Structure 1
Amino acid sequence: MRFFKLLLVIIFLGSTKLFATGQVPDYLIIEKDTLFIQSNPLEEYFKNHPIPDNLITSLSSANWRGYVAYFKFVAGKLVVENIYKEDFKEDSNGKTQFIKTSIYKDIFGAKLNFPCDFYSGLLICPSGDVVKYVHMGYSSLYQNYNLIEIKNGSTIKSKKFTTEEFQKFKMDYFNYYKKTEEYKAKVKEFKEMEQETDYPGSSLRVVHPGIGKENKSLTKKETEFKADKFIESFMFVYLSDYMKTIEVPNN
């Protein structure tokens, strides 16, 4: 999973246009409804149990995970109903065909409904019309949101939001998150990964046209400021990975 994060950082810091791609979501099955979710619960599991490389045959800017998972609740517990890899093939007319192939048994074995007791966080389920389309991550806005708080795989509570309420909630949560040690550690990690690329800092270099002599101290400060803003924007786009509770923590 470190490779995926590094790839995202390189793309984001190198070109925001390349980074600006909406993501294929995972899904939550509730009775007869199948809702898409702006969260990816299995990412926590795959940190310690990586998907074998041979099971992911293609990656795209619209699906950096390389899979699409379906979840449901069984007796109040979140479980994996199925997981698919995505393949893209051209037909005889040169048109691209989208193919989904289940890889559930290869990852979780024959037992059905793999329990997500490793997951604590929010399932963010938007619904209704798109209020504002944003071609970046899970940034598009919808009429309504249903947030379901999960702790160790069990449903704790849920709450419904309007567009405006969800926007405020997300901003308030981000302001809290920026004060945490986890956020500071992530920023440090992303900066270190950016420096590991073949052209560290080149995409963030500040240029002052018309100035004969470069002020190295000023350039360094402005470059660091720009890097911080880029990373802050990156973290906000993927904030759903880090939001854990429906209520914003006070401390």
Structure 2
Amino acid sequence: MAMTLEKAMTLAMHLLLAGLLLVLAATAGATAQVPDRILIDGREYALNTNPLESRLRGRRDFLSENISRSTANWRGYVAHWAIDGDRLLLRRVEVRLYDRESRQSSSVDLLTRLFPEGAPVVATWYSGALIIPDGRLVDYVHMGYGSTYAHYRVYRIAQGRGVEALSMDAGQFSAWRERKFQAFRQTAQYREAVADMRKEDSGMSAEDIDGFVRGFHAEQYPGL
């Protein structure tokens, strides 16, 4: 059966990201990322999940040309969220702009470029887990959201609605995430992702493919 254009593009993105992950893992230049922010009961936390990415699907045409780019923020924006009752709300999409003439930086909210109706926006497109470190930093890792914290909050979300709220220390969080990945390994989605990688003869070992799938779907399987 011929591969659809959408599937071919998704696979190409998988392979590109696989190469990038392998390069980043082997170099010291990998950079910890600036997290999104989330407001819960009047207090703001870092959010080690990026729910807007599953809506954007790589789209970046909403970003201004004079955006201030940084290796600490590859996605180019910081989304601000809130938990309101059982709803996950998008409040704003903040980007940093740089004016070359004045050599000044400023922040601007580009949410209405994506959602003309304005804020707040219920994140009905998102199903997964919100990872919120709310304890002290235990182990800093200079790559992505790889650092370890003493305590975490986790909110499981289904189509923009909270279905479970968890509170865990670092050991419990690590064990919980591993259980979720092992459950994901039993799904058709995991088998298809592995089969697609093998089909393209990417040169990756079975262990590398498994590790890549673990990282690429890291926002999805905790929501199982």
TM category, shorter? 0.7 to 0.9
1:175: Cα distance to partner?
1.9
Q: TM (normalized to structure 1)?
A: 0.70
Q: 2:52: which partner in 1?
A: 42
1:28: Cα distance to partner?
0.8
Q: What is the root-mean-square deviation of aligned Cα atoms in Å?
A: 3.2
Contact 1:51/1:107 (8 A) holds in 2:
no
Aligned counterparts of 2:101 and 2:173: Cα–Cα separation in 1: 42
1:8: Cα distance to partner?
2.9
1:178: Cα distance to partner?
2.4
1:68: Cα distance to partner?
1.1
Alignment counterpart, residue 189 of structure 2, candidates 176, 182, 188:
182
Alignment counterpart, residue 33 of structure 2, candidates 17, 23, 34:
23
Q: 2:166: which partner in 1?
A: 159
Q: 1:52: which partner in 2?
A: 61
Post-superposition Cα deviations, 1:7-55, rounded to whole Å, max 9, x if no partner, equal 53232234522673322211111233111111111122123x9342554
The residue correspondences of 1:1-251 to structure 2 (distance < 5 A) are 7-16=16-25, 17=27, 20-47=30-57, 50-52=59-61, 54-55=63-64, 57=67, 60-87=70-97, 99-190=106-197, 195=202, 201=203, 224-225=204-205, 228-245=206-223
Contact 1:11/1:18 (8 A) holds in 2:
no
- Kindly provide the amino acid, as one letter, of the partner of residue 13 in structure 1: L
Contact 1:21/1:62 (8 A) holds in 2:
yes
Secondary structure of the corresponding residue to residue 118 of structure 2: coil
Q: 1:54 to 1:41 in 2, by over 3 A?
A: closer
Aligned counterparts of 1:18 and 1:5: Cα–Cα separation in 2: 23
* Structure 1 unaligned regions, length at least 5: 196-200, 202-223
Bigger Rg over Cα = 1
More helix by share: 1
Q: 1:15 to 1:130 in 2, by over 3 A?
A: closer
Aligned counterparts of 1:172 and 1:18: Cα–Cα separation in 2: 30
Post-superposition Cα deviations, 1:49-77, rounded to whole Å, max 9, x if no partner, equal 93425546465443232221011133421
Aligned counterparts of 1:231 and 1:102: Cα–Cα separation in 2: 38
1:84: Cα distance to partner?
1.6
Q: 1:194 to 1:45 in 2, by over 3 A?
A: farther
Contact 1:12/1:19 (8 A) holds in 2:
no
Contact 2:181/2:222 (8 A) holds in 1:
no
Contact 1:127/1:144 (8 A) holds in 2:
yes
Aligned counterparts of 2:198 and 2:23: Cα–Cα separation in 1: 13
Aligned counterparts of 2:199 and 2:31: Cα–Cα separation in 1: 24
* Structure 2 unaligned regions, length at least 5: 1-8
Identical counterparts, % of pairs: 27
Moved more, 112-121 or 99-108: 99-108
Q: TM (normalized to structure 2)?
A: 0.78
Contact 1:39/1:240 (8 A) holds in 2:
no
Aligned counterparts of 1:194 and 1:97: Cα–Cα separation in 2: 48
Aligned counterparts of 1:149 and 1:242: Cα–Cα separation in 2: 10
- Kindly provide the amino acid, as one letter, of the partner of residue 182 in structure 2: N
